[in-house]
Structure 1
């Protein structure tokens, strides 16, 4: 076992002693929250925690008046800052403050979060609110520095004490991970679960692996012919704009160079692990400590000059065949340490009781870790998670294990193992793989829409990798349908959408109009979500009943190599993997499709434009529309800030659409405009997708075909105008 550097903790302690002297002097002058006494339970309690007793007393009064009462108290200040709370817990020994301190630290996912929490320049008062709920009472803690992200935490209140299954503070503070417990969890999954037999894709290893040698040395080796147990690292490279140039150079420099198509000898021969960035170094240590000798890291194991397209489409094998995927949730960038002192466990754990209620810490939810860690902001890591049967999430203060049969949190207070429900409606990292295995086609399409929602807000270093970063998911999706339906299926991958449910997949929308200058329509067609700028929030989940008049006809244009095009995805002699890879490669190049559906204008030719403020109606939190000032008038209006557009005929209900792009402040130099210019709203046409879903289109001036249109938005859920397409002609149009 190695000893990680503890300089950071020492630095925090030194700063806290200096800063808290001033805090204590300030507290003494008006309210000494840090003064400690012994309460009726023989526990040390500071004056600030007496405020929590008053909150519990308030809750008792509410319950006596109304046994079914639910609600929240007013906030009470417990300490003037987190550093003051930390000082009280560490020096004064207040048992309640130790519980509150641990609660704050357990809510911090990354090392950067802990640094911000303990930064003297980011301090603000710590408040507590009592939340009375039928499921149990909770203390909600918050500290919100001005113009800085707020810190929050939760402490549960119970009638019985709850103790840690494996208390790390017994005997002495355990500031580093107990790998014995983690090794037992990993081995239990591999020996007693069906994860490997159900979800392992093939017997192939990745092309290259890192072999871990003795004395903290590693070397790059070709994947052995027989399948070996290897670990995969999923991590965030970091934002080069937020780090020194030398750090980014170190991260980029970790890539394996080649000579004559072969990795350089410096990588094929054993070399020290410290040549790699810190996150990778610690991943190597974790892998070796858990008994595994092979590790796959994208930047190292995909040598420069490798066919990146081919490797990207093989990701479902790389992650699906791994012993587990190690997600570096604690690292904001590849030069961050994963293994370090865990400050939450630096004090002895003790059951705390106030006014008959036992206080205990709760673990952070796995969903929060998945959605809020730096890894979740990187596009490539989405498929790394969704394609992995077994995942180890490594946060700053504890680890979490997730596989299709169980989820385990380190030092879990509530029974240690949380079995999954058999219901496929639950949210879990492995739901996509489970649906692929069971062949539930309808749910699989819903899961793809969820993947799109999770993918579009993420960032990419290279926008051209928009499709490559989910290529493995597309291959796995197609393979699941091919194996369910046999060798000949009608499914096609169409620039991030799927043919069999094309109308449903077309009905995506943006949460707010995008910056048109950042569009990616040189990479994907306008009707694909992949044409949106990076880091865009989209919505794909809504009630959808397909229109009987809509029909997908054919692909008109695709940009794909002729050699790839010759490999038919429906060729029976190819296995589902080969057909899936061919389908994904073809699908990236689809540009123009032909569809059929009911078609009409969105805004009538006689409509007059009105301002949005003139028709919007507000009463408190209620928002709607009031057309009373415009009786018998066709009108339309446009919200400049978010891209909403409304169309209303004189004696019919209104339809509210959402435009994909906002109008820029300055006219672009290029004649191509993905947005609808002001004054051109009457040129918008609409194509029916479902009973209450339509595409908003304008003619595409780039194409010579007179019925070629590009997408500019969508309208969904127009309950006030269900007969909008009644009697309209069915028309064949091309979407580009």
Structure 2
């Protein structure tokens, strides 16, 4: 992690951290949050406490620095402290100048080691302001607009009249999804993006996605989850009034997630959850959107078996949060009581 140079010498931090400290000083920030130092890696209780607050941490920071140029903390941040970066090729022919175009911000970010790590997904999505260092240039992106060094864009023309955000026709920047929870149906889009990332510890499959789910729970439409399986509450009022147990039925519909490319079993979680699989790809939508809320599952009872073998019937909305917490993320079996036909 870090070590002393010897005796009473200074602490020696990896290059990415030292470069980030320089950025913080240049921007007059008093504090710099680095997960690996601010969360005690040897204290499981502290890890659990901090993980539960990451949504608050990411959404409250003044700026998130994304090191998209390197592969590990020992890498440099291009253009900081004399570190060079890939030069933009320019050719002058007589009075004409031909300049090489740089990769699109989204391509620059998605083709990096940073974009393959599971824990960085929440960092990018939940932060409101991001300073992205790629091998070619520095990118700025917030929830409303994005800028890049290589282009001098007419920002006034690109903004809406009240200057609150870019106009709808302006191409997105590095992040195409930045507002989790705003549309309940989108929950599988975030799950599918996160699913393609790598984790050092398979047991973190839901932990590294937990704060994205929290934004859906806090939204007006409310989307809960059981072991990662979405439980959507934004069903029509007529259906809520007529359904014997709306959340029980919504959980059954949540099981409609599916692979678009085959995956492999991850035994730490149940097979009926996407967290119980790795590799391959998950489709960003359920099978058919119209199946989600236009069909009723009458006469069906659903219970979740916890790790102690006890059965828990899925309750209605007021009791559901406590139920989801008590079941935990490692329930193995679903028990379904239903009519069958020969």
TM class, shorter-length: 0.7 to 0.9
* Alignment check: 8 A CA contact 1:326 1:391 kept: yes
Q: Residue 84 of structure 2 aligns to a residue in which SS?
A: coil
* Alignment check: 8 A CA contact 1:313 1:475 kept: no
User: Which residues of 2 match residues 479-494 of structure 1 at below 5 A?
Assistant: 479-480=218-219, 484=220, 492-494=224-226
* Residue 87 (structure 2) aligns with: 344
* Residue 477 (structure 1) aligns with: 216
Pick closer, same or farther for the CA change 1:520–1:544 going to 2, 3 Å.
same
- The offset of 1:461, in angstroms, is 0.9
Q: Give the gaps of 5 or more residues in structure 1.
A: 1-252, 256-265, 563-567, 572-578, 600-728, 732-736
- The offset of 1:427, in angstroms, is 5.9
* Residue 527 (structure 1) aligns with: 272
- Distance (Å, rounded) in 2 between the aligned partners of 1:584 and 1:279: 37
Pick closer, same or farther for the CA change 1:514–1:271 going to 2, 3 Å.
same
* Residue 278 (structure 1) aligns with: 15
User: Which residues of 2 match residues 636-651 of structure 1 at below 5 A?
Assistant: none
- The offset of 1:520, in angstroms, is 1.5
- Given the alignment, which residue of 376, 381, 386 partners 2:125? 386
- The offset of 1:586, in angstroms, is 4.5
Pick closer, same or farther for the CA change 1:584–1:333 going to 2, 3 Å.
farther
- Distance (Å, rounded) in 2 between the aligned partners of 1:416 and 1:272: 44
* Alignment check: 8 A CA contact 2:263 2:281 kept: no
Which protein is bigger by CA-based radius of gyration? 1
1 or 2 for the larger relative contact order (CA 8 Å, sep ≥6)? 2
* Alignment check: 8 A CA contact 2:125 2:179 kept: no
* Residue 362 (structure 1) aligns with: 101
User: Which residues of 2 match residues 22-421 of structure 1 at below 5 A?
Assistant: 253-254=1-2, 272=10, 275-303=12-40, 304-307=42-45, 308-338=47-77, 339=80, 340-344=83-87, 352=92, 359-415=98-154, 419=159, 421=166
* Alignment check: 8 A CA contact 1:385 1:429 kept: no
* Residue 558 (structure 1) aligns with: 306
Q: Residue 459 of structure 1 aligns to a residue in which SS?
A: coil
- Given the alignment, which residue of 587, 591, 594 partners 2:332? 591
Deviations 1:432-478 (A, max 9, x none): 65353xxx4xx3332x2111111122111111111111111112211
Structure number with higher strand proportion:
1
| TM-score scaled by length of structure 1 | 0.36
- The offset of 1:326, in angstroms, is 0.6
Q: Residue 402 of structure 1 aligns to a residue in which SS?
A: strand
- The offset of 1:371, in angstroms, is 1.6
- Distance (Å, rounded) in 1 between the aligned partners of 2:98 and 2:339: 62
- Given the alignment, which residue of 436, 441, 444 partners 2:184? 444
Matched, 1:499 2:231: yes
Superposition RMSD on alpha carbons, in Å? Answer: 3.8
- The offset of 1:370, in angstroms, is 3.0
* Alignment check: 8 A CA contact 1:377 1:457 kept: yes
Q: Residue 499 of structure 1 aligns to a residue in which SS?
A: strand
User: Which residues of 2 match residues 658-669 of structure 1 at below 5 A?
Assistant: none
Deviations 1:536-590 (A, max 9, x none): 3222336432162446743322349x9xxxxx9947xxxxxxx979856745244
- Distance (Å, rounded) in 2 between the aligned partners of 1:549 and 1:580: 23
- Distance (Å, rounded) in 1 between the aligned partners of 2:214 and 2:190: 14
* Alignment check: 8 A CA contact 1:389 1:430 kept: no
Pick closer, same or farther for the CA change 1:548–1:316 going to 2, 3 Å.
same
- Distance (Å, rounded) in 2 between the aligned partners of 1:421 and 1:558: 47
* Alignment check: 8 A CA contact 1:471 1:584 kept: no
Q: Residue 344 of structure 1 aligns to a residue in which SS?
A: coil
- Distance (Å, rounded) in 2 between the aligned partners of 1:584 and 1:422: 41
- Distance (Å, rounded) in 1 between the aligned partners of 2:17 and 2:139: 19
* Residue 509 (structure 1) aligns with: 258
Pick closer, same or farther for the CA change 1:289–1:421 going to 2, 3 Å.
closer
Q: Residue 508 of structure 1 aligns to a residue in which SS?
A: coil
* Alignment check: 8 A CA contact 1:319 1:384 kept: yes
- Distance (Å, rounded) in 2 between the aligned partners of 1:474 and 1:292: 30
* Alignment check: 8 A CA contact 2:180 2:215 kept: no
Matched, 1:537 2:270: no
- Distance (Å, rounded) in 2 between the aligned partners of 1:358 and 1:396: 23
* Alignment check: 8 A CA contact 2:227 2:275 kept: yes
- Distance (Å, rounded) in 1 between the aligned partners of 2:63 and 2:322: 24
- The offset of 1:505, in angstroms, is 3.5
Deviations 1:672-707 (A, max 9, x none): xxxxxxxxxxxxxxxxxxxxxxxxxxxxxxxxxxxx
* Residue 458 (structure 1) aligns with: 197
- The offset of 1:532, in angstroms, is 0.7
- Distance (Å, rounded) in 2 between the aligned partners of 1:538 and 1:394: 29
Deviations 1:585-613 (A, max 9, x none): 745244333457787xxxxxxxxxxxxxx
* Alignment check: 8 A CA contact 1:458 1:536 kept: no
- Distance (Å, rounded) in 1 between the aligned partners of 2:13 and 2:115: 22
- Distance (Å, rounded) in 1 between the aligned partners of 2:318 and 2:251: 19
